Amino acid sequence: MTKPTPFTLHVADAEIADLRDRLARSRFPDAAPGEALSDPWAYGTDVAYLRGLVDYWRDGFDWRAEEAALNVFPQFRVPLDGIDLHYLHVPGVGENPMPLLLLHGWPGSVFEFVDIIPRLTDPARFGGDPRDAFTVIAPSLPGYGLSFKPGQKRYGVPEIADCVAALMHDVLGFSRFAAQGGDWGAAITSRLAYAHAEKMIGIHVNLWAAAGREASAFQNPTEEEKRYLGELARWTREESGYQWIQGTRPQTLSFALTDSPAGLAAWIVEKFRAWSDCDGDVERAISRDRMLADISFYWFTGAIGSSFWPYYARLHGSAILPPGAVITVPTGYAQFPREILKPPRSAIERVHTNIRRWTVMEKGGHFAALEQPDALAREVRAFFHELR
């Protein structure tokens, strides 16, 4: 197995200048009339908001500051499964810290974890118990960020799970480890618990990605299940269009978002706003600088097209779990109030048969590590405390 190589992120000055030049030449659509006059986000990203965001991205945003924030953490690259896998490896501060695989999703990146990692690796610094410390390994998912280069093979959820399991077990030498994730990270975490159960101490998720999405599974639904089915129907009707585009014609969309930074920002920021606990103002939940760090990371790495591939793979036969699969690994869940879907426990227990902790959180949405790093870190520490 090839040894990992230390890595420091540094985007060339010429690439930053090129981005600013492209932003200065952005073309914007008009704002649709009618309903959009009262709700400028009714048809998608608000034109006025995006104009202001692009202006700030061009003239006010400090990429070097965000780059430095990521470079605080030790980073590495290692040839693995035919690609160069990028990951953060941050040692825990405490006695015998537990190895924790921390997994992002779409449209996220390792920039999601800048604030939560210290709360997991050094809990005493934030009022926690040093005995609950983790050593955090946070990879850029294969096909995302710095785990992408043009022409490399594409990955669905099962292949990503196998790759990161090899990172933890074969490269880093952990016989057993914990995992936590949201969005695709939750799907990969569930897949790990199914396909690599013997390696898992336990898993924690803040989205149920491997169960509860099929309305046909609910026979004679309870009142709680009926409420959820209504939420699922609305989600399918109003919020799932991006999945169908990214899952059926990802290459076509990739042209636009790889060529236009304003278009890339519009596609991603609409999800930050729609899926966060922000009461319509995305910057109440996620700072403008951190959003732009994430969007810039997609831009500089050119990875937006390959980041769509798990959607395509899922729609074309690459299931997160095979039919009838169950997960017996100890499982914890944090239910944030503005998560995109919140299936009832009755549905989840058909797949996850060893749920040890189910916590309803006070505030937060889909991007829990970004929106509520303190609350999520406390919850993760509390769950794994019982498994040490």
Band of residue 33 on the pLDDT scale cut at 50, 70, 90:
confident
Average pLDDT in the 197-213 region?
Answer: 92
Cα–Cα distance measured from residue 105 to residue 143, given in angstroms and rounded to the nearest whole number:
11
Q: Whose CA is closest to 321, among 212, 204, 180, 206? A: 212
Instruction: Encode pLDDT of 286-314 as tens digits.
Output: 999 999 999 999 999 999 999 999 999 99
Cα–Cα distance measured from residue 229 to residue 89, given in angstroms and rounded to the nearest whole number:
40
Listed in sequence order, the residues at least 6 apart from 318 whose beta carbon sits closer than 8 Å to its beta carbon are 156, 157, 158, 159, 310
Task: Read off the tokens for 357.
Answer: 């902790």
Cα–Cα distance measured from residue 301 to residue 147, given in angstroms and rounded to the nearest whole number:
9
Would you call 10 helix, strand, or coil by DSSP? coil
Spell out the domain ranges in the chain.
5-383
CA distances from 326 to 57, 93, 180, 216, 219 (A): 45, 35, 18, 18, 19
**Residues catalogued as catalytic:** 183, 312, 366
**Residue 303's pLDDT is what?**
98
Runs of H (alpha helix) within 223-287: 223-238, 241-248, 250-259, 261-275
Beta-sheet strands, E only, within the chain: 5-7, 75-80, 83-90, 98-103, 134-139, 177-181, 200-205, 331-335, 355-360
Least confident of 55-64, 104-113, 213-222: 213-222
Q: Whose CA is closest to 351, among 369, 333, 338? A: 333
Instruction: Encode pLDDT of 135-186 as tens digits.
Output: 999 999 999 999 999 999 999 999 999 999 999 999 999 999 999 999 999 9
**Residue 1's pLDDT is what?**
64
Q: Pick one of 3.40.50.300, 3.40.50.10420, 3.40.50.10800, 3.40.50.1820 as the CATH number of 5-383.
A: 3.40.50.1820
Cα–Cα distance measured from residue 110 to residue 370, given in angstroms and rounded to the nearest whole number:
11
Beta bridge mates, 79: 84
